[in-house]
Amino acid sequence: MQATLSLAELAQLMQVEPPQEGPMGLWRFALRGVGAGETLFRQGDRFRSMYVVRTGFFRSSFIRGTTEHMVAFPMTGDALGMDGIGPGVHPVETAALSDAQVAVVPYALLEQMECLHGAPGEILLRLLCRENACKSELVSLLGRRNSASRAAAFLLRQGKRFGALGYSHSDFPMPMRHADVGSYLGLRPETLSRAFAALSAARLARISLKAVEILDVEGLRAVADGAKAEPVARTKAPAARGTARALRPAAEARVQ
């Protein structure tokens, strides 16, 4: 049972270029187990370490007033807690959705990275860019007009993430509560439930409680881009069938 990871192993886990040889080739990063439901860090905690998910699923959220807002569902290879680098405290809390394992990257080491040339600093840079891109995607999700679009875009993105890890992009687990997905998408759980039901009815995806099976990527993409999901044409009516989707006009707005 290995209790630490080398920098190279960490880089591999995160799918970034492993750094060339150097004094930090000897660094070892502690592994930490996190039980299902356990909180890794809380909103407002001082930023002491960053983490990289090795196994398991997480949920990251922040609380404003009395309402919780989901902002990410980190999984294998994702960095946790990077938002804390700037402000020095964690602006979000993240908890494990399943038993999980993370590599701990102490802040002190990050500071050393910044002072060293070459790869480690660059790794951090790439991670920040990735984090940025991830947030842009969330903005993109939240910018969508209707619930079905958001739900469809969410499913496609989750599929893409699993695909990037070598798993099926069309058949993957969804360990978070639907209420949390709803919060992530800016939708009430009831609304999300209906949106999922609509996608199922249109035979675009099969959504069970803890897993998703995407049946029609193109159809989902169409819905994500604004088409409306229609509860699949009756078995009889041979009208618009093709990839199993009937679209309604989708009155499109003009640019600007």
Q: What is the C-alpha separation between 153 and 130, in angstroms, rounded? A: 19
Provide the H-helix boundaries in the chain: 7-14, 107-115, 119-142, 147-164, 178-185, 189-201, 217-224
Q: Which stretch binds DNA (CB under 7 A): 74-82, 88-96, 105-113, 142-150?
A: 142-150
**Is 46 a binder of a copy of itself (CB under 8 A)?**
no
Whose Cβ is closer to DNA: residue 105's or residue 212's? 212
Q: What is the C-alpha separation between 245 and 233, in angstroms, rounded? A: 8
Query: Which of a copy of itself, DNA, none binds 197 (CB below 5-8 Å, type-dependent)?
Result: DNA
> In angstroms, what is the minimal distance from the CB of 188 to a copy of itself?
9
Given 23, 117, 237, 242, the residue binding a copy of itself (CB under 8 A):
117
Evaluate whether 40 touches 90 at the Cβ level (below 8 Å): no
Query: Which of DNA, a copy of itself, none binds 190 (CB below 5-8 Å, type-dependent)?
Result: DNA
Q: What is the C-alpha separation between 179 and 226, in angstroms, rounded? A: 23
CA distances to 35, 106, 164 from 13, in Å: 20, 17, 12
Q: Which stretch binds a copy of itself (CB under 8 A): 18-26, 110-118, 165-173, 204-212?
A: 110-118
Given 2, 23, 26, 65, the residue binding a copy of itself (CB under 8 A):
65
Whose Cβ is closer to a copy of itself: residue 77's or residue 121's? 121
